[in-house]
Structure 1
């Protein structure tokens, strides 16, 4: 089992060129993400996705640092960041991003295959996760044969199968009806309750209300509020 890993930012900023001017998407953000779920909320264009991309190492900051444990994420080269993500991160996207030519089980196994986990172990772990999300009978189905909610549950199983210390989720309930979305949120709360760090972007106040913490983003500025 992968141990929980700390995640923090230090004076993190991201500025993009825009014609002859610049757009500040995120400004001097320093924060330690606590174990549990942090919801990142705010209007479109406020910097939420920029923050998530910087936390994941998909984008490079203009200034500042992202610390994953004692490692400066952006001091690593591309291969180093990819390796760190494989060892410590899980990802859930709004559109689930399943591999179309792989079955549900093969999609869940995929990160374990990249990590060099032996075939039998990765099959067993994938089956266990699919059972936990209620899809053991859909293991052989292709993504095109799954409903939106089922596909998103497969994506969550894939994100959790490596037992990551950090889970990043970008609007994971955005394309789902209310009941299915609540079920997906329940699945994401489980690692948060187990002491993992879950960072979730959402526009839904009901989703944010279930988080342990919230970061409200506006015009590249972040204000922390803590829910009781």
Structure 2
């Protein structure tokens, strides 16, 4: 897939305000930002608005104002089913808890989004095997999540996120439950994905992790500022 050279993911006047009795709570103040290909770290303390931002960028939540554009498509102008289909085709997700399907093997977990997308069995099986090999887990292909270490499960989750070659990869504290060595391996996979031209948005509270990114957004009390 040829990757665009300009911005893939754009937030335009994006905000989220919640009612709170007779008042309101601003979880995310209006901001505009174009996420170019490469890795953008989003940092800030707990409760600062990082997760709200991620949910809006993913289309899991609707903004109070503004919109999210992915290659010019207004994510929130789509129906709920339309957003789900759009995410399947354009997004990959890696969470702090790997969220693998417990009854599927590592290989089947990586295949899962390709199955949902209607990719033929042989093609998706070959793609999944290549991805597991790429994250160093070819020998663990037939293991269930319960038979994997936390780091192995998280690497399977990264492979699954990359299965359909997404334009946008959203990672929410992907190393939060891992030891430092295993976390470094997962970060290598994410930074490698960014170097391949994907737009990677990494939520983290760890300054050392954020230092690996090409650029940084800081969130405090719902206000987003960009370094530089």
Equivalent in the alignment of 2:224: 222
Distance change in 2, residues 1:52/1:70 (3 Å): same
Aligned residue for 1:204? 206
Q: Partner residue of 2:105?
A: 103
Structure 1 unaligned regions, length at least 5? none
What residue is the counterpart of 1:119 in the other structure? 121
Q: CA deviation at 1:34?
A: 1.1
Q: Partner residue of 1:178?
A: 180
Q: How many residues align?
A: 226
Structure 1 residue 38, shift from structure 2 partner: 0.2
Deviations 1:153-185 (A, max 9, x none): 000000011110100000000000111101100
Contact in 2 for aligned 1:8/1:30 (Cα 8 Å): yes
Q: How large is the Cα RMSD of the aligned pairs?
A: 1.1
Partner of 1:146: 148
Structure 1 position 79 matched with structure 2 position 76: no
C-alpha separation between the residues in 2 aligned to 1:28 and 1:2?
32
TM-score of the pair, normalised by structure 2? 0.97
Q: Which residue of 2 aligns with 1:28?
A: 30
Alpha-carbon deviation of 1:20? Answer: 2.7
**Any idea what SS the aligned residue of 1:26 has?**
strand
For residues 50-82 of structure 1, give each alpha carbon's deviation from its aligned partner in whole angstroms, at most 9, with x where no partner exists: 000000000000111001111110010001101
Gaps of 5+ in 2: none
Deviates more, 1:11-20 or 1:194-203: 11-20
